[in-house]
Structure 1
Amino acid sequence: MTHHQDTSAVRPITDADIPTAVETLARAFADYPYTRHVVAEDDHEERIRRFQQLCLTRIGMVYGRVWVADAGRAVAVWTTPEQDPSPAFAEVGPLLGDLAGDRAVAYESAEQAVAPYRPQEPAWFLDTVGVTPEAQGQGLGSAVLLPGIEAAAHAGYPAYLETSSERNVKFYERLGFEVTAEVLLPGNGPHTWCMRKDPR
């Protein structure tokens, strides 16, 4: 039977979706400039998997909102102003530092470099998003992001994200985001674009 992608396939994540969603994120970030810069080379794929699993299960699912499309083959993880994720970051931060390994200093300095450009007012933050490689180019990325973008706008909050891929910048611009800053991460790191979409 042919698998037709329709927007009804986008829904909030359930516990059953977690394994597929983690796999999706791990594969989507297998060779991403930012994570290459801030996560140790040694056992890189496993570190990325655990990094994404923490962002999904300990931050997004507890303190934010998460949607999947195609049963987890696309996933978007947001934190929202309804709950302050600081406790999660305080708890998970040291674990992320451990996962960064010998790149922990790069991870810290990258965070500090973009911090001034992050919204100071309440906003929806796109924590992580991924589409499994074989499902890319089918509109799943846009589909899985739209509920969060719409919910932020409906609540009157800006939506904010950071990307270290120039190709992604064009993709997000088509969704209505604008570049607010372009930061060259310290220590020979990649260019990172800060983007936001204000509620109309």
Structure 2
Amino acid sequence: MPHIQDAPVVRPITDVDIPAAVETLTRAFADYPYTRHVVAADDHEDRIRRFQELCLTRVGMVYGRVWVADGGRAVAVWAAPDQDPSPAFAEVGPLLGDLAGDRAAAYESAEQAVAPYRPQEPAWFLNTVGVAPEAQGQGLGSAVLVPGIEAAAHAGYPAFLETSSERNVKFYERLGFKATAEILLPDNGPRTWCMRKDPR
């Protein structure tokens, strides 16, 4: 009888998971088109690590929800509308600007280009998601995203995300998201898709 692979165990993040989760996100975004465009090339990986750590620990874990699977080899960070994250963004914004380095202007123009397509109403916003490269293709990405998608739907909110990878668009479509905008970011930036999934 063929061995059925056990479904990944997905659970809310704990402090113990932070190092593994940051490492997963760093590796997942080391060569991602959007972060290549908006984060300086010098010490790129270290900048990505600090960027992801801020998103995880200052935004997601305080003002949203974070789930991990497989001991942190998959992680999904959501900003939820129950709490206003503006204090976090006010604190983290300048730090993100510093991390962007000589790409700060590209980061600003990318934010301005995408802003009009973001939901004006309360929504669950997928801040960041990553799967360790060696763990991809095992269903961890879908598994770690489902709790946030379900929580948004249960609360009656849309779920929203942005991606700069065409391959990701197909992946998110399988999870029920629809592309609402396709934007070519200024300054020779990558094509970026806005996607949302409305509650039933």
Instruction: Indicate the TM-score class for this superposition, using the shorter chain for normalisation.
Output: over 0.9
The one-character-per-residue Cα deviations of 1:109-166 (angstroms, maximum 9, x if unpaired) are 0000000000000000000000000000000000000000000000000000000000
**Structure 2 unaligned regions, length at least 5:** none
AA aligned to 1:152 is A
The AA in structure 1 aligned to 2:176 is G
5+ residue gaps, structure 1 = none
Q: How many equivalent pairs are there?
A: 197
Residue type matched to 1:41 in 2? A
CA distance in 2, matches of 1:125, 1:85: 11
Measure the CA separation in 1 of the matches of 2:84 and 2:124.
Answer: 11
1:129 aligns with 2:126: no
TM norm structure 2: 0.97
Distance 1:78 1:84 in 2: 13
* CA distance, structure 1, for counterparts of residue 114 and residue 54 of structure 2: 21
RMSD of the TM alignment (CA)? 1.0
Aligned mates of 1:126, 1:135 — CA distance in 2: 20
TM-score (norm 1): 0.97
Q: Corresponding residue for 1:69?
A: 69
Task: Kindly indicate whether residue 39 of structure 2 is the aligned counterpart of residue 47 of structure 1.
Answer: no
Instruction: Determine the C-alpha separation between the residues in 2 that align with 1:21 and 1:139.
Output: 17
By how many angstroms is 1:6 displaced?
Answer: 2.0
Q: Which amino acid aligns with 1:153?
A: A
Aligned residue for 2:7? 6
Does residue 37 (structure 1) correspond to residue 71 (structure 2)? The answer is no
The equivalences for 1:1-150 within 5 A come to 5-7=6-8, 9-150=9-150
Percent identity over the alignment? Answer: 86
Deviations 1:8-50 (A, max 9, x none): x100000000000000000000100000000000000000000
For 2:7, the aligned partner's letter is: D
Is the partner of 2:167 in helix, strand or coil? helix
Q: Could you tell me whether the CA contact under 8 Å between 1:5 and 1:70 is conserved in 2?
A: no
- Report the secondary structure of 1:173's partner residue: helix
